Amino acid sequence: MRLLIHESVHLACSLLVAVAVWWLYRPAPHLSFVIAAALAGGLFVDLDHLVDYFLAFGWRFNPRYFAKGYQFLKSDRIIIPLHAWEIVIGGFLIFFYLGSLKNPADLTMTRSLLLAFASSLGLHLAYDTVSNRIPWLSYSLIRRISVKFALRSLVFPAHYRKHLEEKKLMTFAN
């Protein structure tokens, strides 16, 4: 149930971003493209959790394990490559750069899609930071690489202690 609520918040935020970006640029960009870009950044980005899952458990997929995030419990790592502030910043930098060109009106569709994607991903990461109660810097890919994706280095000490307690109680069928 927690996962359903979590993903529903991502969906709602993505749709709000899509409508706001479309309204800002109307009537030029087609709403369905803007919605797709916002959903890519705000909802479908969670598919990168599959990277962590398959590295932890191999190719045998257990939906319950995936939904409960057991991949992090088993591996003691957080990879999630698309959960990265660097992507958000890069999206906004390209958005502003394209706006500074001679004929930015020719790039309205591209800019609106970038804005929808980067804004939705930014909201996604902000919500994840708060709801998962981990430091905001943990959603930096550079930071995760620098600590070799070690969960211990990416969460607060109390979170890590709880993680270790849960791990002691867990046996994985896979």
Domain residue spans in the chain?
A: 2-169
Instruction: Look at 78 and 101; give whichever has higher pLDDT.
Output: 78
pLDDT at residue 29, rounded to an integer: 67
Alpha carbon distance 53, 62 (integer Å)? 9
Q: Are 90 and 41 in contact (CB under 8 A)?
A: no
Q: For 117-173, write each residue's pLDDT tens digit.
A: 999 999 999 999 999 999 999 999 999 999 999 999 999 999 999 999 999 988 876
pLDDT at residue 28, rounded to an integer: 64
pLDDT at residue 171, rounded to an integer: 82
Alpha carbon distance 2, 25 (integer Å)? 35
**Does 27 score more than 80 pLDDT?**
no
pLDDT at residue 102, rounded to an integer: 78
Alpha carbon distance 121, 42 (integer Å)? 5
Q: Which residue has the tokens 């980067």?
A: 118
Alpha carbon distance 77, 74 (integer Å)? 8
Residues of the chain by 3-state class (helix, strand, coil), percent to 5 = 75, 0, 20
- What is the average pLDDT score of the chain? 93
